[in-house]
Every structure is written in structure tokens, then in C-alpha cells.
Amino acid sequence: MKPVEISKGVYSVGAIDWNIRDFHGYSTERGTSYNSFLIVDEKTVLIDTVKKGFEDQLIDNISQVIDPKKIDIMISNHTEMDHSGGLPRVMHAIGEQKPLYCSKMGFKNLSQHFRQQWNYHGVENGEELNIGSRNLTFLETRMLHWPDSMFTYCKEDGILFSSDAFGQHYAGFEMFDDAVGHTIMAHAKKYFANILMLYASKILKLVEQVQASQLQIKTICPDHGIIWRKDPGKIIDAYVKWSRQIPEKKAIVVYDTMWHSTEKMANAIAEGIYLEGVAVKPIHIRSSHRSEIMTEVQDACAIVVGSPTLNNGMFPTVADTLTYMKGLKPQNKIGAAFGSFGWSGESVKLVQAELEAMKFQIIEPGARIQYVPDDAGLASCVAFGKQIGQAVNSRNDE
């Protein structure tokens, strides 16, 4: 991938990771990119680096524009290693004592992470840096995605360098929204659901602040995926919608099964939900990655979870899914539990406790069937599904 000029003197010089399929537990079936941006002005600035192992692509791209030694200022918007892993190589290439701008928390985190005596400049929220014909403004964005995160905004070009926010795990030669088209929204939604959902209230506040400040944003350059230049408002509006977590008329039935009994229950419950006119999708946990499940959770109204009882507990894959889901703090959901069992049958109670811990509105009692469901058992599951579907409909009628 060659450097791409985004605006006069502003280049995308990062690296594409075509082959990554697991990003700390998130399935990245389309790979990702580690975006880095070069601004050539009276002072030349590099914003963010790449993951360790991708420095050659970065240095090669910079070298096609300018000798890396001519970079005057390094800006680190975020400490996480997919953006800072290349810092040691970059600092060595540009000069170890060139100024390294970051947030105050970034200074603390980078110092602890790298144990290097770099020439840090911890900036205040709103602080400006003149680099010649441009002014860069640093905007603190704590917890988007880490406590150190910040945006860098260039007023003259109307470019927001937004770190993780508005990103997508997507590798492609199409580097802009107008080149890739609407399909990118599915990747952006998955990214939001799995990386940012738990910070939804902060995102809403941030967007309100940005709107109140009347920043002119012509282009958004995130650190992953494509650049939003045709319609940056589209991804901002999507973030507002996703942050509000207003559910759609949709349910998912997430389950695992040992000998297909819980699976039969899942399908019967899904049928009952469907009969109430609610969109529904049964999802076998071992056929779907947890990050795909979380993307479905994002806009679902009802999360119905099924587990057989194993060793007096819930099935391990169900526990994994619920742990992951709970950490991301989905809001405004209806929850229901079900499962088959042989003799002790604790799983439904345990699943329900997890759903309650997420403050879901619980449909009680959960559905339990001993051994293999017969016709009457399946009919009771259809009825349970109808009850869930009616609860979803009543939410939509409110």
C-alpha cells in the first residue's frame, strides 16, 4: 500500500494487516489496518504509529513522502499497542529527542509501557499547536477507548484524527467511504458493539460537545479502516443511534446444546417469537463468534439465552458469551433463560442471574425441560417464545 494524500500535504501512511483474524478476542474476518497520518507543513507531524511488526510498511510509506528524519513532532492519540507498538522504531528513525505529544494520561501510560526517556509533552484538553499554516487542537476523549485517548483536530483542513472512534476492522485498497460504499457500516457497527458499547453514554456526551463546539468536520480519519470524507455525518449519526441503544423489534436466541435438546427448545422459542411478528435469529454459540453475537445484541430488544446443565453449572461456552456480553454493558434489553437438563438442572437459574445482573427485564419463569422435549414440551417453548415476542411488541408500542 502506498501513501495516499487525503488533503494537500496530509497523507495516510499506515499499514494494512490483511491476515489478522483474531484481534484480542474479536473476530476480524476482513483483517484490519493500523492508520497513521503524516502532515507536511513548516513543521512535519506524524500522528500515531502501527502495531509492532508493521513498522517497515510505515517507514517505507513515510519515506516515499519525506525523509523520516525531517519529522519534527510525533503525536500519540492513544497508547494501545496497535497504535503505539511502532513508537520505538519511529522515534529511533525520526530522532529520539523529537517532541512526543500525547494526553497527560498518555504520558503516564506510554512512560510505564515503554520505560523510555522520550521528550514527552503532555497536553491539556483544548490545547493548540501551531505547525506553520495549520493549528492542531488536542481534544481529550477519555475512555474512547482508553483513559489516555484523545483526538487531534486540524481546523484548516477540517480533519478530525479520531483514534479508535469511528473505526472499523477492515482491510482494503478502498481507503474512503465513497470507494467502499454502504457495506462498511456493518463493520463499523461490529466495531462499536465490541469495542465501544460500554462507553455509549460518554460517546453521546462527546458528540454533543463536538456539535456544540461547531467544529467544521469535513473528514474523519480513524486509526482503523476507511476514512470518512464523503459523508462524515453518516458515521456520527450512526454513533448517536448506537449510543442511545434504542432496540429494534428483534430478538436473538443464543444457545449451546449437548445432545440437541436445548437446540430443539431454542428453535421452538424462536418460532413463538416469530409468530408474534418479531424478527428473530437462533444463534448456536459454537457456530458464531462471540463478537458476531455481540453485533446482534447491539440492536436486539430481547436476548434469550439457553444452556444445558453440565456438572451442576451452565455450559462453559454460554458462560463465556455472558461474561463477554456483561462487560460491554448492553442497555434496555428484555432477557429470558431456558435449557434442558438431566437431573439437577441449575443452568436456567444461573443464566437468568447473569441476565438480571445486566439489568435486563426478565421474562419469568425461564423454560426448563428434563431430558428430551416431547410435543407438549415444545408447545410450551413456543408459548414461552410468544410471551417474549409480546413483551418486545409492548416495548415498541410504548
Closest CA to 204 of 128, 143, 137: 143
Catalytic annotation present for 92 = no
| CA-derived radius of gyration, the chain | 24
Catalytic annotation present for 224 = yes
- Residues 80-139, interacting with ligand FEO (CB under 6 A): 80, 82-83
Exactly one of 24, 182, 397, 398 is catalytic; which is it? 24
Catalytic annotation present for 182 = no
The vertex-178 CA angle with 173 and 180, nearest 5°, equals 45
- Residues in Cβ contact with 87 at an 8 Å cutoff, skipping those fewer than 6 apart: 49, 74, 76, 100, 110, 114
Closest CA to 350 of 298, 291, 308: 308
> With contact defined as beta carbons under 8 Å apart, do 332 and 362 qualify?
no
Catalytic annotation present for 24 = yes
Candidates 78-86, 133-141, 152-160, 250-258: pick the segment binding ligand FEO (CB under 6 A).
Answer: 78-86
Residue 164 interacting with ligand FEO (CB under 6 A): yes
Residue 148 interacting with ligand FEO (CB under 6 A): no
Q: Supply φ then ψ for residue 144, to 5 degrees.
A: -120, 60
Sign of CA dihedral 17, 202, 298, 194: positive
State the minimum distance, in angstroms, from the CB of residue 164 to ligand FEO.
4
Nearer to ligand FEO, 1 or 66 (CB): 1
Dihedral (Cα; 334, 26, 191, 177), 10-degree rounding: -140
Sign of CA dihedral 67, 69, 73, 77: positive
Nearer to ligand FEO, 54 or 384 (CB): 54
Task: Report how many residues bind ligand FEO under the rule CB under 6 A.
Answer: 9
Catalytic annotation present for 78 = yes
Dihedral (Cα; 236, 198, 140, 104), 10-degree rounding: -160
Task: Tell me 370's DSSP state.
Answer: E
Residue 190 interacting with ligand FEO (CB under 6 A): no
Catalytic annotation present for 82 = yes
The C-alpha atoms of residue 137 and residue 209 are separated, in whole angstroms, by 15
Residue 145 interacting with ligand FEO (CB under 6 A): yes
Nearer to ligand FEO, 225 or 330 (CB): 225
Exactly one of 164, 256, 276, 296 is catalytic; which is it? 164
Note if the bond before 365 is cis, omega within 30 degrees: yes
State the minimum distance, in angstroms, from the CB of residue 34 to ligand FEO.
8
Catalytic annotation present for 260 = no
> With contact defined as beta carbons under 8 Å apart, do 93 and 61 qualify?
no
Nearer to ligand FEO, 83 or 229 (CB): 83
Residue 78 interacting with ligand FEO (CB under 6 A): yes
State the minimum distance, in angstroms, from the CB of residue 394 to ligand FEO.
38
Nearer to ligand FEO, 30 or 224 (CB): 224
Sign of CA dihedral 240, 241, 242, 246: positive
> With contact defined as beta carbons under 8 Å apart, do 252 and 294 qualify?
no
Residue 169 interacting with ligand FEO (CB under 6 A): no
- Residues in Cβ contact with 294 at an 8 Å cutoff, skipping those fewer than 6 apart: 190, 193, 194, 197, 324, 325, 328
Residue 256 interacting with ligand FEO (CB under 6 A): no
Residue 299 interacting with ligand FEO (CB under 6 A): no
Nearer to ligand FEO, 146 or 176 (CB): 146
Binding mask 33-72 for ligand FEO (x = CB under 6 A): ----------------------------------------
Exactly one of 41, 48, 55, 82 is catalytic; which is it? 82
Candidates 76-84, 124-132, 171-179, 363-371: pick the segment binding ligand FEO (CB under 6 A).
Answer: 76-84
Nearer to ligand FEO, 78 or 333 (CB): 78
Catalytic annotation present for 83 = no
Q: Which of 17, 48, 223, 276: binder of ligand FEO (CB under 6 A)?
A: 223
Binding residues vs ligand FEO (CB under 6 A) = 78, 80, 82-83, 145-146, 164, 223-224
What are the catalytic residues? 24, 78, 80, 82, 145, 164, 191, 224
